[in-house]
Structure 1
Amino acid sequence: MIRISVPATSANCSVGFDTMGLALDWRGMFLFEQADSLRITGCPEAYAGEDNLIWRAYLTGCEAGGFSPDPLHIHIESDIPFARGLGSSATCIVAGLAAAWEVH
């Protein structure tokens, strides 16, 4: 099992955008393990399919590294709110790319 932790960001928060920063104590924790088929848990059902941002980033990382992607069980433990400009999408992308390199 691979555990990847990614911090939240304030880069898109409020009117300050990239000019102001906030110290945030939120993190996204992502667990990856080999599986017989793709399984994503710990998120709303709407995000648990092949269009999941973590999975897509993992596939992109595998392609960039010349790796053959394996089916994974991805478990998400995150207290970063969705769609609030606090980096939930960025944490998913970073976790998926890092997983491609760690798994392979």
Structure 2
Amino acid sequence: MTAEHRHPYRFCTAIMVLLLMLTACGKGEPTEAEMFDTLNDFGPTKRLLGDLATMRAEARKTGCENTGENAYKCGVASKAGKSLVLKYIFAREGDKWRVLP
């Protein structure tokens, strides 16, 4: 008799724990796509980085740090090399992100 047959609930429990952990991952920092979508509606950045297509082609997320409940300070830099990193604070409101002034 294999281990799975002796303890069938142990395997199911392990799968459930893994699925719950993966579900919780979506509550963290904004993805690059979410950041660019939010910045596309933020006037000052749109003038600096261009429209959404330009941002996706020429910019990249440099990382985020947690600054509080549902808020992250994230960097955006040019893909073309060493340059200025623009830092923004993103706050989750419901299922959307917004840029804090």
**So what's the TM-score if we normalise by structure 2?**
0.28
Q: Say which structure is richer in helix.
A: 2
Report which of the two structures shows the higher radius of gyration computed on alpha carbons. Answer: 2
